[in-house]
Chains A and B, each alone.
Chain A
Amino acid sequence: MPVYAKPKDIAVPGELLAEGQYAVEGAVFVIDRKVYAKTIGVVEIEKEKGKRKIKVVPLKKKYIPHAGDRVIGKVVDVGVTNWTVDINSPYTAILQASEVLPRPTDAARIDLSSYLSVGDIIVAKVIAFDFSRDPLLTIKERGLGRVTKGTLVEIDPAKVARVIGKKGSMIKLLRDMLGVEIIVGQNGRIIVMSEDRDKESLALLAIKKIEREAHVSGLTDRIKAFLRARLEGSK
């Protein structure tokens, strides 16, 4: 049962990674016990209960909504009973009036644009999505709602996991070293907030660096060194 790919290899679609019975995860498909890569991505080989697991982490992807995801959206249209929200995905999301207004109100009677208007940035949560209809959002939870300050950056949704880091370690690093507040949407949009403009733009640079170099190992240490050098340089 040979494994042809090495960990950290960059695989292209259709690349044969291994032959035999393996656990697989991520962007791979299996035909006749042959494991192939499905998208361009980084190969990872993990041990799981003594069995090897072949995994391909995509280097690029489009955001596909999942129930429970936190996303950052942009209001693109105000309807009679709902808002249409662009969530940087092939599927535009719907935010129903009932998910915004404090109590059951006759939405037809009030003007929804007094709550949210076109161009507003919101932090929202996906309630449901199953491909047959557009995803539904809510902002009726703590930490959700309209964003009034900060800077918005967009990265590839495939790199969101790296910006967050293992158990939030990367986010924590940025917060601790720069004292900035960061909201990460699963859809690749990130809001950085800080009183200090310089710290804010440094955080943006760091995020862009993470996106660019996510496939090279030793990322956390590199970001740490980068921030330290920049912070000392500005003193």
Chain B
Amino acid sequence: MKGEIKLLREDGTRLDGRRLDEVRPFKIEAGVLKNADGSAYIELGNNKIMVAVYGPREVHPKHLALPDRAMLRCRYSMATFSVEERKSPAPSRREIELSKVIREALEPAIFVEEYPRTAIDVFIQVLEADGGTRTASITAASVALADAGIPMRDLVAAIAIGKIEGKLAVDLNGLEDQYGGGDMPIAMMPRLGLITLLQADGVFSPEEVVQGIEMAEKAIKMLYEEQRNALRKKYLEIKEEVLGSE
């Protein structure tokens, strides 16, 4: 299997022209939906993902409510047109798993104990997918949560580390994910330096895991800055508009 498909060029760059430690171009926007309490939109390479957050709000049915904290509910779903072959709209095994994984990556960041007996709903809609949607979803979802005014310990940003032709690479795209030798999504609370998600498939040596986390941390710091800017933008624009008109 390995070696059959070349994922690296002669000069050591990847097929899309990136260096091994280079993240795809990304863009984050906050507050893109009017109905939701908080929302965010992210583009990471060809990935396009929309996230809406509702809550904290009353739980229905009522018996599901937790007496001491808010429950976080996540739904990750891919649009039928998000991949080349039409994706069935019914939640797949993969989507259900990703919903759980994303929820568990976000929950440590939220002060859930401040809103007992309520629910915080996170809806993630993947409009276009090209590898690394779970990490991009986490990055966008934490912006949407912050945009909703939910108290959090830190934002959560995530990126995948992968292996292509035996070398560690940051932020795999769809092709590299499919034919590469491993995928390790990592989510962190960058300010606090805590990891909230670490998965891996493929083979990584202990050294590679350590090195991979270091590489991820760098990329996550970059994403974090963009998250911060996205959240502040709306308010700074109003400020500029108001002060500029005087």
Query: Which residues of A are in contact with B by a Cβ distance under 8 Å?
Result: 10, 12-16, 27, 29, 31, 36, 38-40, 58-62, 64, 90-92, 131-132, 156, 158, 212-213, 215-216, 222
Contact = CB atoms under 8 A, between A and B. Distances in A.
29 contacts: A10-B231, A10-B232, A10-B235, A10-B236, A12-B231, A13-B146, A14-B153, A14-B190, A14-B192, A15-B191, A29-B153, A31-B192, A36-B153, A38-B111, A38-B151, A39-B149, A39-B152, A59-B149, A60-B37, A60-B149, A61-B149, A62-B115, A90-B57, A91-B117, A91-B118, A92-B58, A156-B149, A216-B239, A222-B242
Contacts of A60: 37-38, 147-149
Contact of B149 (A58, A90, A131): A58
B67 interface: yes
A178 B150 CA distance: 36
B228 interface: yes
A39 B235 CA distance: 14
Given A12-B228, A39-B151, A216-B243, A62 B56 contact: yes
B21 to A, nearest CB: 25
A222 to B, nearest CB: 7
Interface of B: 37-38, 55-58, 67, 109, 111, 115-118, 146-155, 189-192, 227-228, 231-232, 235-236, 238-239, 242-243, 246
B235 A12 contact: no
Given A38-B111, A90-B55, A216-B239, 4 more contacts: A40-B147, A62-B37, A91-B58, A222-B242
Contact of A39 (B150, B190, B191): B150
A94 B115 CA distance: 18
Contacts, number: 94
Contacts of B147: 40, 60
A16 B57 CA distance: 29
Given A40-B231, A91-B117, A212 B149 contact: no
Nearest to A31: B192
Nearest to B115: A90
A216 B235 CA distance: 9
A77 to B, nearest CB: 13
A10 B231 CA distance: 9
- The A interface, classified by DSSP as helix, strand, loop or mixed, is loop
Nearest to B228: A12
Given A39-B146, A131-B117, A215-B239, A27 B56 contact: no
A40 B58 contact: no
Contacts of B118: 90-91
A27 B37 CA distance: 18
Given A12-B146, A58-B149, A212 B238 contact: yes
A40 B146 contact: yes
B55, B57, B154, B236, most chain A CB atoms within 10 A: B154
A62 B232 CA distance: 19
Ranked nearest first, the 4 interchain pairs of A and B with the lowest CB-CB distance are A14-B154, A60-B149, A13-B152, A90-B118
Contact of B191 (A14, A61, A92): A14
Nearest to B142: A13
Nearest to B156: A14
Contacts of B153: 13-14, 29, 36, 38
A23 B67 CA distance: 31
Contacts of B150: 39
Nearest to B147: A40
A14 B228 CA distance: 10
Nearest to B239: A216
